[in-house]
Amino acid sequence: MSIAENLNQIKNTLLPTVDLVAVSKTKPSSFIEEAYAAGQRIFGENRPQEMKSKAEELPKDIEWHMIGHLQSKKTKYIAPFVSLIHSVDKLSLLQEINKRAAQNERVINVLLQVFIAKEESKFGMDEQEVEELLSSEDFKALENICVVGLMGMATNTNDENVVRGEFKDLKILFDSIKNSTIPAHINMEKFTVLSMGMSGDYKIAMEEGSNMIRIGSSIFGSRD
């Protein structure tokens, strides 16, 4: 099947409230052009320099989402144009994004990445770290970032109940922030995004309240 056919097949299964991030990491720009021609405008990358060079050569109305772990020192490559950073996991990174956003005279939208999986080696904050961060004075002082939601990755397992339980936990945390059960220095009108679900688990994620899914291999084929 072609990229356009894959995209259409996935779009047909999406609830109208869900945004699709086409994860094009490691894939050539020609693949992105194919998806773009089929109407896709949001693309996800996980390497800052790769995102930068693709953004330079591809159409300017593409929304670029950083989905992978971001090292502070590489923030500068994407700060001028990135539309959403999904993977913020500490205050020092937020401060660097804030600084680079200010230099570019813009506000950068970010999601906080929450650790929900049972397995090791996934990045993200736990619930308590999220609460501490959002209620801190250091966070309050950042004027060039806007926290618009949360992101999480479930355990890589065939056990649907484990995956569903992890997504449920993230939705509960999202709702607690949204309903101010957890105190947070956030503009609640803008706090709207719950990014969860990939090729293997996005249907479960949607059932559990996701409104942004990140799909790579089901659109572009498997990665090496």
Residues within the interface to ligand PLP (CB under 6 A): 23, 25, 46, 67-68, 153, 198-200, 214-218
CB of 219 to ligand PLP, least distance (A): 8
Cβ atoms 156, 198 nearer than 8 A: no
Shorter beta-carbon distance to ligand PLP: residue 142 or 148: 148
Closer residue to ligand PLP (CB): 179 or 222 = 222
CB closer to ligand PLP, 1 vs 141? 1
Nearest distance, CB of residue 86 and ligand PLP, angstroms: 7
Q: How far is the CB of 103 from ligand PLP (least distance, A)?
A: 26
Q: Which helix (H) or strand (E) holds 20?
A: strand 19-23
Q: Are 192 and 147 in contact (CB under 8 A)?
A: no
Phi, psi of 135 (to 5 degrees): -100, 0
> Using an 8 Å Cβ cutoff, are 167 and 205 in contact?
yes
Shortest Å, Cβ 71 to ligand PLP: 15
User: Which residues are CB-contacts of 169 (< 8 A; sequence separation ≥ 6)?
Assistant: 116
Locate 181 and state its tokens.
Answer: 């059960």
Query: Cβ of residue 205: shortest distance to ligand PLP, in angstroms?
Result: 11
Max Cα-Cα span within the chain? 51
Of 90 and 106, CB closest to ligand PLP: 90
C-beta closer to ligand PLP: residue 46 or 75: 46
| Integer Cα distance of 62 and 59 in angstroms | 6
